[in-house]
Structure 1
């Protein structure tokens, strides 16, 4: 099946090259900076080499290396040639982009089938595969927006967003400091800690557990656009009101998950602890909390994204003249869409790093759990 898929992708890639060759040139005749014949020939040669590798009986690592070089070098040449020629791409240009993408797809598929021989190699593959996948999202985004001439105000290409990021570092740094380092971190820590403490109390006191959990489910359904303006009225326009929104959003997921986790330990284990004359707190610390750790970390990971969303949305309803939400709301009114996308990209990057840190802490803490074994 793998051989059939590889051969089919190779044949399809060659067919795209042949059709593109018939439909040359790549750009419209009035393009300001047309592709040279040497560049066009090099692109076709690279894609053809990558396609032919699918039929050769060579090692997987060698095939991956050739596919990696040919696919990305061809895509780099195609994107470099469209810069300054926005909206001038012809069908042959998009056919070659599609052929390069097929090579990139084949490269990812080959990487996914490699059996890692060491832990370091496993970690490298876990980073390389999503990196290539993400790179191709950006490549296709860049090629389509520039090749089709999509107006920047509707969807700017990644290169324009990167230029805005590098040209607005002081503004972005101030926004991150206001939103992330103040509102998000404080609200996240307080909300998660409060939810955890109240969950312990609810586990200890039956009427709290029966009364709080239904309220927790109700509060989790509250719309943030309703909570945020109320918190701004209560705590003012600075970061404290945004932190309050984050606390509300992170408190109940931690409460519900921790209570569920504390009930995850088996009855046999609890009976064994009682046979050793263990009290409530000994059983809690030595049995029930360790068993609840996957649930607690699940809440921490959920809250890592909720906190960021809550703080940014809360800034729409009143903030000093700084902050990621403030910047998004004001710049979209000025039609500075590239700045809006820059803020979105920075927020996505910080959120991913935040989530990754929590996930790494989970692996280090719950290494004994079946979900973390053998990986």
Structure 2
């Protein structure tokens, strides 16, 4: 009984499949390109087969493979049926999309319950599960916008955004080079390094610590839309002004987190260092900085997203005719929404990779920390 309860997605998917049979065809009578009965039959068989398989005593890996093929095969055929028929999808179409999504959900659940055998299998599962989850966000987005005929100007489907990315690679590469490899990286390195150095200095000088922290909390609350135009006036329209905005945005999170981390070492450990006649710098290097590393990496991860946001928003207030923020602001004025979404998608991917690199560095550096020893 517990297995049947855990397989409720299959039961609901089968119910939706039966309900869709009463609502056929997939498209309305006014659709310019009718869908053949063969394609509809394959979709129904895939969903019904996947739903029934979820109740059988099949090994988890095999069941996950069956559900994966059934869910994604049906979704691919359903999206193909509305290609050229945007806005003409009937209720059967949306019922079958929902049934396919439930099979995809069940596939993820089965994969999450698998006990990996070895490091390689664990890595594959940790990558596969979020990949399937993310793919279904795109599938539902594509099916919803095409099936319901959402106006392109409001929300283009992912396929249109992907096509725009493929056709605009030189433009996107130039924008990434201007925004990421110039403004973001330079500002991130300088801002984080300056915040870390000032935190060490403030930790050493009590007077400075008591004066810097309140000001840091105040400055961290400054709105970027107020700082960005001032930096453009001070440093010009090129990437230097955007790097200055990134420095301002990344300096204070690093400062506050590092100061907090330097105070994380326990009193017993400090007493032990004093009993060894360690001076300030020896205690700092051998005890307090290692204890502060989780706080420092927390600031680095926060700043990895803040830097990207700061540089893009700063480009709204003045930039040469290149850059991700410049492209977003100009293309939205021309109603080229797919290009705007292409820039957003590229920024999201770069930001995720940036964050992931910092997270991997944290895992390699602070492997001894309890937050990393379990996973």
What TM-score, normalized to structure 2? 0.99
For structure 1, list consecutive stretches of 5 or more residues without a partner in the other structure: none
- Give structure 1 regions of 4+ aligned residues with deviation exceeding 6 angstroms: none
> Secondary structure at 1:142's aligned position in 2?
helix
Secondary structure of the corresponding residue to residue 222 of structure 1: coil
Quote the Cα distance in structure 2 between the aligned partners of 1:372 and 1:2.
Answer: 33
CA distance in 2, matches of 1:7, 1:291: 46
Q: Deviations over 1:226-284 (max 9, x none)?
A: 00000000000000000000000000000000000000000100110111111111111
* C-alpha RMSD of the superposition: 0.9
CA distance in 1, matches of 2:67, 2:222: 49
Going from structure 1 to structure 2, the CA distance change for 1:311 and 1:137 (only over 3 Å counts) comes to same
Tell me whether 1:138 sits opposite 2:135 in the alignment. Answer: no
For 2:219 and 2:64, the matched residues in 1 are separated by 50
Partners in 2 of 1:234 and 1:330 — Cα distance? Answer: 23
Q: Deviations over 1:306-360 (max 9, x none)?
A: 0000000000000000000000000000000000000000000000000000000
Which residue of 2 is the match for residue 339 of structure 1?
A: 339
In structure 1, the residue matched to 2:255 is 255
Q: Distance in 2 between matches of 1:5 and 1:258?
A: 48
1:26–1:93: 8 Å Cα contact kept in structure 2?
A: yes
Q: Is 2:47 the partner of 1:42?
A: no
Determine if the alignment matches structure 1 residue 350 to structure 2 residue 355. Answer: no
SS at match of 1:87: coil
**Which one is further off, 30-39 or 235-244?**
30-39
**1:67 maps to 2:101:** no
For 1:270-309, list aligned pairs within 5 A: 270-309=270-309
Deviation per CA, 1:73-120: give whole Å up to 9, x if none.
Answer: 110111111111100100000000000000000001111111112111
Residues 1:200 and 2:188 are matched in the alignment: no
Which residue pairs with 1:117 in the alignment? 117
Q: Is the CA contact (8 Å cut-off) linking 2:20 and 2:92 kept in structure 1?
A: yes
Provide the rounded CA distance (Å) in 2 between the counterparts of 1:161 and 1:335.
Answer: 14
- Distance in 2 separating the partners of 1:259 and 1:121: 40
CA contact (8 A) 1:6 1:54 kept: no
- Other-structure match for 1:319: 319
- Give the structure 2 partner of residue 365 of structure 1: 365
Aligned partners of 1:110 and 1:172: how far apart in 2? 39
Per the alignment, in what secondary structure is the counterpart of residue 226 of structure 2? helix
| 1:52 alignment partner in structure 2 | 52
- What number of residue pairs does the alignment pair up? 375
- Cα distance in 2 between the residues matched to 1:328 and 1:49: 45
Gaps of 5+ in 2: none
